[in-house]
Amino acid sequence: MLDIQISRNGKQSLYRQIAENIRERIRDGRLPANTRLPTVRQLADQLGVTRLTVQNAYAELQADGWVEAVVGRGTFVSR
């Protein structure tokens, strides 16, 4: 499970906060390459957000090259 803190009152959207939290963990080595991230449903339930919010965060990370989604296997850190 990821220890992610989000602020519902913050200026930044929830999905951006989630993406930035994960990005930080990848940068500082807490999430090494090839680490499997929680499923969209698991992380959404953990954070109390919609699945779409987590999907958007993962999509942003994937577009920026931080993670890779493998159909049927999950989302993995790529850096």
CA-to-CA separations, 1 to 27, 31, 70, in angstroms, rounded: 18, 11, 19
d(CA 33, CA 10): 30
What are the domain boundaries of the chain? Answer: 14-77
- Those residues whose C-beta lies under 8 Å from the C-beta of residue 72, and which sit 6 or more positions away, are none
Using a 10 angstrom Cβ sphere, with 0-12 exposed, 13-18 middle and 19 or more buried, the burial of residue 52 is exposed
What pTM value is reported for the model? Answer: 0.94
pLDDT tens per residue across all 79 residues of the chain: 789 999 999 899 999 999 999 999 999 999 999 999 999 999 999 999 999 999 999 999 999 999 999 999 999 999 7
- CA gyration radius for the chain? 12
Query: Between 1.10.10.10, 2.40.160.40, 3.40.50.300, 3.30.1200.10, what CATH number should domain 14-77 receive?
Result: 1.10.10.10
